[in-house]
Amino acid sequence: MTFMIKVPATTANIGAGFDSIGIALNLYLTLKVTEADRLEFVLLSDQLEGLPTDESNFIYQIAKRVAERYQVDILPPCRIEMTSEIPFARGLGSSATAIVAGIELANQLLQLNLTADEKVLLATEIEGHPDNVAPAVLGGCVIGHYDQTLETIRVPIDDLSFVTIIPDFELKTSDAREILPKQFTHSESVRASSVANVSVAAICQQNWPVLGKLMKKDLFHQPYRKALIPHYTQIEDTLADNVYGLYLSGAGPTMIALASQEQVNKHFDHWKEAFPQLDWHVLEAVNQGV
């Protein structure tokens, strides 16, 4: 028995969709799983170096948790060859992909026949919010609400470029959440939610100019987190006239500009030259999840 598990990276928040909007992108965590006498992780990408290769591997721990949930004591031993294109702790959903990979590993090894909705719910219960895990399972853009029950709406995304700008440092999500305000007044909440509401409508209509404008007006997290990202404002100013808008991907530090293919073709080299210390990529949304 051999099977593959391929989980896409994700970008969360997309401006004001804090903890509730995410989009799957074309960078992948891939597992090749083969029946074996004992459990072994084989780490095939440089950036995976140092991760546990035994039962303490996070993906295996998630798979065990799922097995216990379905009253199974033992996962069949296997050799898991692992490759990843997703940088760690940069705001591209690397831990969410590991959670989703662990769920899928248990699903396949134990033939649980989980539905996509069951996988999203399990992953959201583990992660605490659906914005990264839901698009990793379902693909496309997923707008989700989780509070005891989970509601998700999936919107396919086409013809949009994600200019992805990755700084050379890791940012822990817990640190980036720590600096957020604990409370908003009623009027602040009304303003912040109106930005989020119109952002969702813009996504549903693929109205990228409106989404781009509103990404800048987010009040939930970016005003506080920008301070942790050197160059954020300079990059925003440099790209402003030639993209729909810039946002902080997830908890950061990666920044993503939404642009048309034409805008990218015309300006990408210039942007890279202006900020050579950052790692620039052009990604696209993928409408297929795990």
Sequence ranges of the binding site for ATP: 87-97
**Site membership for ligand HSE, residue 172 (CB under 6 A):** no
The yes or no reply on residue 18 touching ligand HSE (CB under 6 A) is yes
DSSP β-ladder status, 40-43 and 17-35: unpaired
Beta strands in 73-193 (DSSP E): 78-84, 141-147, 149-155, 161-166
Which residues are part of a known binding site?
87-97
Query: Which of 87, 135, 139, 250 lies at the binding interface for ligand HSE (CB under 6 A)?
Result: 250
Which of 246-268 are b and which e, b meaning 16 or more Cβ less than 10 Å from the residue's Cβ?
Answer: bbbbbbbbbbbbbbeeebbeebb
Listed ranges 48-56, 140-148, 169-177, 183-191: which one lies at the site for ligand HSE (CB under 6 A): 169-177
218 is an interface residue for ligand HSE by CB under 6 A:
no
DSSP of 74-85: -PPPEEEEEEE-
Could you say whether residue 278 binds ligand HSE (CB under 6 A)? no
Residues in the chain: 290
Q: Rounded to the nearest whole angstrom, what is the least distance from the CB of residue 112 to ligand HSE in the complex?
A: 26
Q: With binding defined as CB under 6 A, does residue 251 bind ligand HSE? A: yes
**Judged by CB under 6 A, which of 177, 191, 266, 270 binds ligand HSE?**
177
- Among residues 15, 80, 131, 211, the one that binds ligand HSE under rule CB under 6 A: 131
What is the number of helices (H) and of strands (E) in the chain? 10, 10
The verdict on 12 binding ligand HSE (CB under 6 A) reads: yes
Q: Which residues of 102-131 are buried (b: 16+ CB within 10 A; e: fewer)?
A: bbbbbbbbbebebeeeebbbbbbebbebbb
Is 175 an interacting residue with respect to ligand HSE (CB under 6 A)?
A: no
Residues binding ligand HSE (CB under 6 A): 12-13, 18-19, 129, 131-132, 173, 176-177, 221, 250-251
